[in-house]
Every structure is written in C-alpha cells, then in structure tokens.
Amino acid sequence: MNTGTSDPRAARQFRVRYTTGQPARSGQPVSNTFGLTGEGTLTFDGNSLVFEGKRSGFIDGLRGAPRIALADIANVDYNAASSAFLIRTRNGKHYAIVWAASHEDAEAIWALLPQEKTPDFLEDQAAHERFGKVMSMLGKRAYVTPSIIAINAAVFLIMLAAGADLMTPNPSIHIRFGSNFGPLTWTGEEWRLLTSAFLHFGLLHIALNMFALYQAGGLVERLFGSTRFAVIYLLSALSGSVVSGWWDPLRNSAGASGAIFGVYGALLAFMAVRRVDIPPSMLKSISNSALVFCLYSLVIGAAHPLIDNACHVGGLLGGFVSGVILARPFSVEARATPQPAKLLLAVLAIGLPLTWMAQSLVAPDGRHAAGLRFNRELIDFIPIEGRLARKQADILTIRPDVRVDRQEIAKRLRDEVLSPWREASKPILQSATISSENPQAARLQAAWRDYLLARERAVALRVLSLETGDTSDEARAISAEERLGQALNTLNALTNE
C-alpha cells in the first residue's frame, strides 16, 4: 500500500455500498480483503483512492480507512447495468467490491479509475470465457449430485420414522439400516461398506455433509461428467469404509463424509492433472478452498475421537487416485469419446489395495478374524441372554397365594432356561481364542466365557437344589450364584473400560 502526491486532480467523493457479492463475472473471489460492508464512501484523493465504511475487523493489520495508490490499481471490472465495480490492486493482493449510488456516479467513478488491463488478467479473462463456453455447451445442470442429496435426505426421514432420534445417534437403528459395523461388515455383510455412506447420525451430521457435497459436487460432476462422477463417488465411499474398518475393526461408522472427501480429492486431482483447462484465478481459488476444507476437516477430526478420520483419509485418497485416472480434457470433443478402459482402471486401482486391506479382516487366519467373529456371536447372543434372564426371574418369582411345586419349577428352569442357555452360549464358548496381541479383547472374551459358564453352573445347581431339597445342594447353589455375581461384575467392568 502506498500513497501518491503529485497528481493535481481535485478530490472527489462518492457515496457507495460495499459488499462481498460478485457483480462483474463468474470465477472471481467473493471476499472483500478490507472487510468493508454496508454504506460508505469512495474518495479520489490526489493520486490515491480511499475506501471508507464499516469494517468487519482489522484486515492485514490495517487501522483506519484503506488507501490505494491509483498507480497500483489495474484490471477493474465494471458492470454498468448494476453500477458495480470490482476494484483490484495490480498484484491482486487487495480487492473491494463497490456499488455506486447511481448510474451517473458509476460512470464518473469509471472515468476516474485506471483502465489498464494487464496481460495476465486478459489471459485469465479469455480463459474464463472459454471455460464458460464449454460449461454452457455441456449443459447447465448436474444430475447425480442432487440425486445423491435426495437419497440421503429420504433415508434420513425413513430412519426418523423408524425411531432414530433427530439429534442423538441411535446405534441399534443405524446398525439395522446398514451402518459400517465391523463385527457385521467383516463377517458376511460387506454390503454395509456402501449402505453406510447413505446413513447419518442426526440432523447436524447430514446437514453438514450435504452442504459440503452441494458446495463442490455440481462443479466436480460437470468437470468429470456424470458417469465418472458417480464412479468416483462410490469408489470414494468404498475406500472410506474399508480404511475405517482396517483402522478400527470394531467401529460403528456411517455418513457420506468419506465419499464427500473423495469428491474434494477428485477436484484437487483435476486441478493438478488438467490445470491448463482451468482459468488461473479459478484454479488458485478453488484449489485453495478445497485444500483448506480437507486440512481443516482432518484437523478437527483428529481432535475428536468420535469423528471417523480414517474414513475421511480413505475417501480422500480414493477420490484423488480415481480422479487422476478419470480426468480428461475439459471439452465437448473429449466427452464424446467413451473410455471404458479408464473406468476399469480406476476400479482396479482402488479395488486392489482395498482388497488387500480387507484380507486382514475377512481371512479366517487374519489378525482380527477371531475378535470380529467373537463380537458377531455376541451380537446374536445378547438379546437371547436378556430374554433368558427375564424368563429365569419370572420362574423363580413365587406369589404368596400360589402353592409352590418345587419339581415343576425345577423342570421349567431346566427346559426353558438351562437348555436354551447351553445351546445359545455354545458358539461363543467354542469360538476361536483372540490373540494376546489384542490384550483388551482377549480379556473381554475370557470374562464372557467365565460369565457364561458361571451362569450355566448357577442355574444347573439351582435346578438340582429344587429337585432334591437337600440343604447341601442349596448351599452349593447359593455359592454358585455368588460366583456368578462376581463374574458379572468383572464382565461389566471390562465392558465399560
């Protein structure tokens, strides 16, 4: 910033309005580097231009009214129809968007402003015109992006109708609808890798994800074409889900964020591979915005353990790799030539590494296989456990006005509790032992086995004491029930760690 002193022209002041909107042409930055908003004045003071108005804050350490030497101004955009200007410094560091109070004032301001257009700016303008022409020829709408948003919204509403909370996650409902829950995903329900990308944990979750997709999806879809965009989206969703499971096999994950990170990854890939097709100012602006989004989101994710950052990283890498492969010249001619081999290459480039990662989760001898299978058995068993525990309590609850038939109670306990318990707990007791490489899971498995056997013994001895009426059998039953209580306390403590 500097001031001039030699120009003898008289000072002139105009009432203007400052805004962060874009009056001139598409692709330009929409921020106001001076933080000026609302009503103010624009003053031509000697060789300088002074911007006065309400400031949203101190920008670049400036205090007071910003002042730019007229010699430092170039590449001004003027929209006569709206009496608006985009005033830039020659180096592009500063710019302000100004609306004149009247058409007459606008013409006067335009006459006082430097008219110079630098070669770089003219080249960028021409690139914008070419880019806009191609965009127009390719059509003005993207269809896959709004379809994906609509599907996510519809699924969210269906889940609400099924009992999901508007704001608070309900893991059981999300698992029922297809979330990426490792013990189910990696033991035969691999379809969850994709269905999970269309589920969300509450209103804030889906709102943030759909806004991020809306911001970038339409542009990326038009850059790549709808078919390639759909392939990129699904491959990114798959990448995010697999990497999430590989990083934390027991996690219950859902949301479109992995696929959305892939959309931004593909955008960065296109900017890197086909940078000649993008106007320079747009290239810089979009690349910076995409990088800021990705880095900021990953930093926030690293600070919050409930955020599935592994899914974000996987989706970002999947989108970038598939974007590099599927990027093509941004022209009507390039779109007219089908390239099925490129689509196949993208699928293989993403699918092969993901298959390798998944092997440690699905292979019978994989390091996580025993733990996943054990947890899958628990998921099937826990509802049965609750039902049998309630049944046992009902059988042993004796009303004062009912005559007690000890043999009948013993028979009911044996037939309705003990036998079903033995059958239901068998898969868990016979499941492969979890390796000591995962000590917490190994301790939890041992605690579950101890609890299952303790409850079986306690019920069996209670049946025996009812059948014999012997005091020694009653004492053994009481001792077994005390041991069951200890085993249950140990199991609860490990579960809550």
DSSP string, 333-382: HHHTS--HHHHHHHHHHHHHHHHHHHHHHHSTTSTTHHHHHHHHHHHHHH
CA 120-124-129 angle, 5° bins: 150
DSSP H or E segment with residue 163: none
Q: How far apart are CA 251 and CA 236, in angstroms?
A: 19
CA 410-411-417 angle, 5° bins: 85
370 close to 432: Cβ distance less than 8 angstroms: yes
Q: Could you identify the residue written with the tokens 């760690």?
A: 497
Whole-number pLDDT of residue 402: 60
Q: How far apart are CA 83 and CA 81, in angstroms?
A: 6
CA nearest to 147, candidates 230, 238, 204, 207: 230
Is residue 187 over pLDDT 50? yes
- Give residue-wise pLDDT tens across range 24-50: 444 444 457 788 888 999 999 888 999
Q: Are strands 77-79 and 36-45 parallel, antiparallel or unpaired?
A: unpaired
Prediction pTM value: 0.80
Q: How far apart are CA 285 and CA 264, in angstroms?
A: 14
If you average pLDDT over every residue of the chain, what do you get?
Answer: 89
**Among 144-158, 167-181, 277-291, 480-494, whose mean pLDDT is lowest?**
277-291
pLDDT band at 58 (very low <50, low <70, confident <90, very high): very low
Residue 122, classified by CB atoms within 10 Å of its CB into exposed (0-12), middle (13-18) or buried (19+), is exposed
CA nearest to 164, candidates 148, 151, 177, 182: 177
pLDDT band at 435 (very low <50, low <70, confident <90, very high): confident
Backbone φ and ψ for 48, nearest 5 degrees, come out as -120, 160
DSSP H or E segment with residue 270: helix 257-273
Domains and CATH numbers, the chain: 12-116 (2.30.29.30), 144-362 (1.20.1540.10), 369-495 (1.20.1420)
**Among 93-97, 142-146, 174-178, 430-434, whose mean pLDDT is lowest?**
93-97
Whole-number pLDDT of residue 10: 61
> What angle, rounded to 10 degrees, do the helices at 144-161 and 203-224 form?
160
| Residue 489: partners with Cβ closer than 8 Å, 6 or more residues away | none
Q: How far is CA 40 from CA 19, 103, 302, 483, in A?
A: 11, 17, 43, 81
Share of the chain above pLDDT 90, in %: 66
Average pLDDT over residues 121-134: 85
Whole-number pLDDT of residue 13: 93
Q: What is the DSSP letter of 72?
A: G
Q: Could you identify the residue written with the tokens 């390796």?
A: 435
- Give residue-wise pLDDT tens across range 275-287: 988 888 888 888 9
Q: How far apart are CA 486 and CA 368, in angstroms?
A: 29
- Give residue-wise pLDDT tens across range 390-424: 999 999 887 655 666 889 999 999 999 999 999 99
Query: What's the Rg (C-alpha) of the chain?
Result: 34
Q: How far apart are CA 418 and CA 411, in angstroms?
A: 10
Q: Could you identify the residue written with the tokens 């806009």?
A: 132
Whole-number pLDDT of residue 401: 58
The sign of the dihedral angle between the CA atoms of 220, 225, 226, 227 is: negative
